[in-house]
Structure 1
Amino acid sequence: MNEVHPAGEPKSLSEQIQRDGYVVLRNLMDSQELEHLLNHADNFWDTLHDPQRPQSKLEVHGAAVAQIASVRMAACKKRLIDTVLTLLGPNIYVNYIGFTINPPQSEDKQHMAYHQDGGRISKEHAQFFEPRYTVKAAIWLTDGTRLGVGNFYVIPGSHRWKQKPDTKIDELAIPVYVEPGDVILFERRVWHTRKTNTSNTRRKVLFVDYAPRWMEPKCQMDITPPPTYSSPVEEQLFNNKETWRAYAPRKIDLPALDYMSSAGLTRSVEDES
């Protein structure tokens, strides 16, 4: 978390998410950091994928991924975490982290349906104001600068919809082009999908979901034995012990609060319109 970003960038990026529901952080990961993450993704693929199902994706998540130091470092990159803290405030943690690897698929393979993240949250807020609650980072490890590689499609501004419109929403969506090392940061309310990977290479993405610490984790995140954390903020994000899950935590349990103060970060006000 020692990198430097332009003054005001977290606020600018958070404003873009307020407007569009997503933003792209360019060149977040350098070539060496990418190589480390790719090696881990490839090791998981070689070890866990089913050769009898060559077109099936592989998703590896939870403690098996969180225990990797380079993965935790990626989730704590300064430009990324500063933007996340500006959006969500200091009482957060990582409630999901995982590699998703999509092999080449046939062109007639149906792509994932357009959806919002968050399980039942959107259903239970139907026709009422729905808070953001969480944001997710898609850290791209492979090329996404052309179509047909399992591109991320998003409908800008759809996080403000009170209900899904009665229209073909695919016509409203746009592809988000990214290079290896770029990050798509998006909030769970925005409508999005992953299109089919019809290329001849595997699509590899590391997903990190940031959420309030009172929200239930999406997967088993307890790292055993506990690692040596590189910073207090990293420990807050990944330490899933009972004492760190407080609904009303003490200041001593919120190193991200001190970090925000020292970095000059303030939480953005969510627009309810």
Structure 2
Amino acid sequence: MTPTPLPTCDPTVVESFSRDGFAVLRNILAKDRRDMLRHAADRLLASAITTGRDRGTDGKDGFRGVVALDSAFLPLVAEPTVLTVVATLLGPNLHLLSSHLIALPSIPPDGPRTIRTPERPGWHRDMYGVSRDLGSASIPRLAIKAAYFLTDPTPTAGVTMFVPGSHLRTDEVQVPAGSINPPDAVVPPIGPYDVVLFENRTWHAGGLNTSGSPRLAVMMQYGYRWLAPVDDPAAELLRRADLTDVERQLLGAADRDPDGSLAKGAGARPLTRWLEHREQVAVVAQEANPTQAQRKAPA
């Protein structure tokens, strides 16, 4: 579970995220790893576990704090490519706010629904308390979610929809009467091994799953360390001997020196150092393999 130093974050991903409020990272999960996560999700959903259980309307099921319920999900905490982009956008003073397994049931197109209807279209921003307390015009970028789809994101699977650019809006998105989606809503084109990143201000909603099978996804949400986690505390995770320092930070390690004394800001050191090392590696790689544009023209 060691994050591997990577080249500098792709600037086109950062540009896309800054413009649209979401971006797609391609081919993050290998097939065997995705299959392992799918089996772990199936085990949890078939269990009688109530810790963190998140059942909702229309047969929706899932779990909060899934990284503490099955170790198969633990490597997602510091997935290197995802973490590089998230830390580039938010900085290193981060921890994991939530790890959320969602099973969205399949309902026939003409089947009864209590949400994603014209009366309850279901469009929202994350961290609803921020909107309520600060108002929609005053919300900063506080958190980023990474959505891993464990079942194929086909056109009928109910993949999460977004309104591009809505993270910069100061008003709510408008859904026309009789409809369930804003006219500018989109479904990002993603493959089975891709990850979708989106921030707390981006208006989004689950699509309609009419595929005949549940849509399984894991949402990993990262935010500043001064934000309270959404999931229940899982102190037992920090007692694991196989965690890296970066993983310990993301799982909530406190600002402490090795002797236990208070050390303000120490909790963000692991990710800060990892980012610095990643940048150093990128510089060395660039110097060893300069692009044609960077090479000096012959005299």
TM above 0.5: yes
Residue 167 (structure 2) aligns with: 159
Asked whether 1:219 is paired with 2:234, we answer no
Residue 73 (structure 1) aligns with: 75
Asked whether 1:122 is paired with 2:131, we answer yes
| One-letter code aligned to 1:29 | L
SS in 1 for 2:240: coil
Mapped contact 1:221–1:240 kept (Cα < 8 A): no
Residue 30 (structure 2) aligns with: 30
> Normalising to structure 2: TM-score of the pair?
0.77
Residue 232 (structure 1) aligns with: 245
Residue 184 (structure 2) aligns with: 172
| One-letter code aligned to 2:278 | A
Residue 276 (structure 2) aligns with: 261
> Normalising to structure 1: TM-score of the pair?
0.84
- Residue 249 of structure 1, aligned match among 242, 249, 264: 264
Q: For 1:156 and 1:217, locate their aligned partners in 2 and report how far apart those are by CA, in whole Å.
A: 27
Structure 2 gap ranges (5+)? 51-55, 281-299
Shift of 1:183: 0.8
Q: For 1:196 and 1:249, locate their aligned partners in 2 and report how far apart those are by CA, in whole Å.
A: 46
What per-residue deviation string (whole Å, max 9, x for no partner) do you get for residues 5-55 of structure 1? 5x44344322211110000111101012112111110001111499xx995
Structure 1 stretch displaced more, 249-258 or 19-28: 249-258
Residue 150 (structure 2) aligns with: 141
Q: For 2:247 and 2:97, locate their aligned partners in 1 and report how far apart those are by CA, in whole Å.
A: 13
Shift of 1:82: 0.3
Mapped contact 1:140–1:205 kept (Cα < 8 A): yes
What is the count of residue pairs matched by the alignment? 258
Q: For 2:263 and 2:143, locate their aligned partners in 1 and report how far apart those are by CA, in whole Å.
A: 18
Call closer, same or farther: CA 1:9–1:250 in 2, change over 3 Å. Answer: closer
Residue 94 (structure 1) aligns with: 96
SS in 2 for 1:172: coil
Call closer, same or farther: CA 1:199–1:49 in 2, change over 3 Å. Answer: farther
SS in 2 for 1:254: helix
Call closer, same or farther: CA 1:174–1:253 in 2, change over 3 Å. Answer: closer
**Rg (Cα) greater in structure:** 2
Shift of 1:241: 5.4
Call closer, same or farther: CA 1:161–1:223 in 2, change over 3 Å. Answer: same
Call closer, same or farther: CA 1:74–1:166 in 2, change over 3 Å. Answer: closer
| One-letter code aligned to 1:59 | G
Q: For 1:248 and 1:161, locate their aligned partners in 2 and report how far apart those are by CA, in whole Å.
A: 38
Residue 207 (structure 2) aligns with: 195
| One-letter code aligned to 1:39 | H
